[in-house]
Structure 1
Amino acid sequence: MTSRRDFLTTASLAGAGLALSPLAACARERPPAASGKTTSTSARAGTLAMRAIPSTGERIPAIGVGTSGSYEVALDSPAFAALRDVVKVFFEGGGTLIDTSPNYGNADEVVGALLAEGGWRERCFLATKLAADDQETLERQWAESKRRLRTGKVELLQVHNLRNMAQAWPYARRLKDAGETRYIGLTHFQARAHAELARWMREEKPDFVQINYSPVAPEAADTIFPLAQELGIAVIVNRAFDDGRLFARVADKSLPGWAGEVQIDSWAQLFLRFAISPPAVTAVIPATGKPERQADNLKGGIGPMLSAAQQADVRRLFA
């Protein structure tokens, strides 16, 4: 069965050695699939899809990392030890974008420790957020974020869920002017906020927006994506797995018959390819605390994008 639960690690991931080349993290052998599933009997070649940030032309990989839940672990725990391998797979597989938030428990502290221990900071396109209700707290929160992330600046600073835009957005602009972030953006995670997000996009023209998008929540394709293309705004997709619920819905289902044609052999890869196939999308940020799943996620960014007909087919599967 080609499902997230059944995804098998290979020898290149065994034993937590994980000394992967960029291709090894993204192209690996897997056992034959069950009847009705796509089958790949040899490691496939390919490179991780890259996308340009419209405001500058800088290119970043289309598969990133989110940290909500998976990175909220104790620094002395087995889960943290596993995350060392996760980030090794991610960076050696060509990934760069890690998205976190001071609202995600201790995730930013965990990210800071992982980047420092592994020497990954220079490779990382680090994104975090502002989420506070008054100016003093915003300033204190930003200072604390830098301390916990062990850095003096980030690549992307976002106003989390459009919270306190009257103060948070001008503050983000000031931090960009001061060189403490290269890009600024806005985020939300629910379709009900799309209209408000669109209004702010028109008024402020941020460098980035981050929004939910998946086969069960496809509204952004009809609203946010076209506007982002019109205004030249990068798009990060969150909740591509619908917080993991999509896997339960496909546990006993076969992949579409065309999946092999686009180098997809797991449902995770299909969901991620669906997320990055719209031309407006710059990156998607799935979260995981398991190295084998991180490798599988990266494979979602290798191979042809889904055609309009294939994207529609995926949407119909969950209609």
Structure 2
Amino acid sequence: MKKFNAMHYSRRQILQFYGLSGVGLAITPSLFSFMKNETIRQRVIPSSGKKLPVVGIGTWQTFDVDGDEAIMATLKQVLNEIYSLGGTVIDSSPMYGSSEATVGQLTAALPSQDEFFFATKVWISGKQAGIDQMNSSFQKMKRSAMDLMQIHNLVDWETHVKTLKAWKEQGKITYWGLTHYLDSAHATLEKIIQQEKPDFVQFNYSIRARHAEQYLFDTCEKYGTAVVINQPFESGSLFRTVKDKELPAWVGEYGIKSWGQYFLKFILSNETVTCVIPGTSKPNHAIDNMGAGYGALPDTKGREKMAAYMNSL
């Protein structure tokens, strides 16, 4: 797919390109703030030295649409917008209903299919049950090999880690990892990282949920584990907190044009974060989320100022 260079187009033409000509600029606040002659920020996967764009997409709930044609068309546009702005990471799971099949069907119809970074999970107990479930995920996502296979919420992790290590050696997966979404799992994640040295770990972290800063980020950095962040918006509660509130003017120095970018840039200002995966089914929100991967990021003083302001609301 050819990348879109907004420098050559008017605002009207850009909106038409993104299929947003009827929605107006008010709900695409970041659209023009990062469309310059720049590329999305990338960070290194420590175990391989390869790079990933820092913003991707999660598919929990948003891609569980069971083949609804109208919604599928919108989700295809979401993936096109993300890819056009440099994003590649798509994270799914067999836990997410029809999401894996939706991802497979939509990406198979895109010329950029093989340029995405496909991540999914195993979420079942038992060796053979895990193998069967993962093979099913390959079929649903239409992949002969998977970029990243993760053990979802640590379900029977001692069993699955052996399979994933073997599959990595065989080339069936490129990376393996672990996931969870609760602070209470961070200590267990830390121990497994120390013991098994996964390529990736995925966990919760946000501007108001900073438990991972106590030790988990340090452990990931020490053992060379790439970090994927889930729950960046705290299941939407962050947006409810800031509803009808104006952004502080001083965040303009970081190129922040929306609350979504405020929350995501706070996360990305932690340099141990490899990628954040906000979920959305709306093209304009996808564009806005991708904007967090462009431009300046707050330094330590700036991120603490952002957190303090958020806590004051």
In the TM superposition, 1:39-78 aligns within 5 A as: 44-78=36-70
The count of residues paired between Structure 1 and Structure 2 equals 298
Q: 2:245 aligns with which of 238, 245, 253?
A: 253
Q: Give the conservation status (yes or no) of the 8 Å contact 1:54–1:234.
A: yes
AA at the equivalent of 2:114: E
**4+ residue runs of structure 1 moved beyond 4 angstroms?**
12-15, 29-33, 40-45
1:273 equivalenced with 2:273 (yes/no): no
Per-residue CA deviations over 1:188-243 (Å, capped at 9, x if unaligned) read 10111111110101111111110101012111122211111111111001110111
Q: 1:195 aligns with which of 184, 187, 199?
A: 187
AA at the equivalent of 2:168: K
Distance 1:136 1:154, change over 3 A: same
Distance 1:149 1:317, change over 3 A: same
Q: What is the TM-score normalised by the length of structure 1?
A: 0.87
1:121 equivalenced with 2:113 (yes/no): yes
**Structure-1 separation of matches of 2:71 and 2:274:** 29
1:239 equivalenced with 2:239 (yes/no): no
Shift of 1:44: 4.8
**Structure-1 separation of matches of 2:259 and 2:173:** 35
Distance 1:43 1:167, change over 3 A: closer
**Structure-1 separation of matches of 2:147 and 2:117:** 6
AA at the equivalent of 1:217: A
1:179 equivalenced with 2:171 (yes/no): yes
Q: Give the conservation status (yes or no) of the 8 Å contact 1:30–1:42.
A: no
Distance 1:47 1:199, change over 3 A: same
Q: 2:87 aligns with which of 85, 95, 101?
A: 95
1:210 equivalenced with 2:193 (yes/no): no
Q: Give the equivalent residue in structure 2 for 1:166.
A: 158
Shift of 1:117: 0.8
Q: Give the equivalent residue in structure 2 for 1:25.
A: none
Q: Give the conservation status (yes or no) of the 8 Å contact 1:30–1:41.
A: no
**Structure-1 separation of matches of 2:165 and 2:27:** 52
Shift of 1:135: 1.5
**Structure-2 separation of matches of 1:156 and 1:98:** 10
Unaligned 5+ residue runs, structure 2? 1-10
Q: Give the conservation status (yes or no) of the 8 Å contact 2:33–2:255.
A: no
AA at the equivalent of 2:131: E
Q: Give the conservation status (yes or no) of the 8 Å contact 1:32–1:41.
A: no
AA at the equivalent of 1:128: T
Sequence identity (%): 34
Q: Give the conservation status (yes or no) of the 8 Å contact 1:221–1:278.
A: no
Pairwise CA RMSD of aligned residues? 2.4
Q: Give the conservation status (yes or no) of the 8 Å contact 1:13–1:292.
A: no
AA at the equivalent of 1:150: K
Q: What is the TM-score normalised by the length of structure 2?
A: 0.89
Q: Give the conservation status (yes or no) of the 8 Å contact 1:268–1:296.
A: yes
Q: Give the conservation status (yes or no) of the 8 Å contact 2:67–2:102.
A: yes
Q: 1:300 aligns with which of 285, 292, 308?
A: 292
Shift of 1:244: 1.2
SS of the residue corresponding to residue 229 of structure 2 reads strand
1:157 equivalenced with 2:129 (yes/no): no
1:220 equivalenced with 2:212 (yes/no): yes
Q: 2:71 aligns with which of 55, 76, 79?
A: 79
Distance 1:223 1:30, change over 3 A: farther
Distance 1:156 1:42, change over 3 A: closer
**Structure-1 separation of matches of 2:136 and 2:13:** 38
SS of the residue corresponding to residue 74 of structure 1 reads coil
Q: Give the equivalent residue in structure 2 for 1:18.
A: 18
SS of the residue corresponding to residue 193 of structure 1 reads helix
Q: Give the conservation status (yes or no) of the 8 Å contact 2:34–2:294.
A: no
Q: Give the conservation status (yes or no) of the 8 Å contact 1:175–1:181.
A: yes
AA at the equivalent of 1:295: I
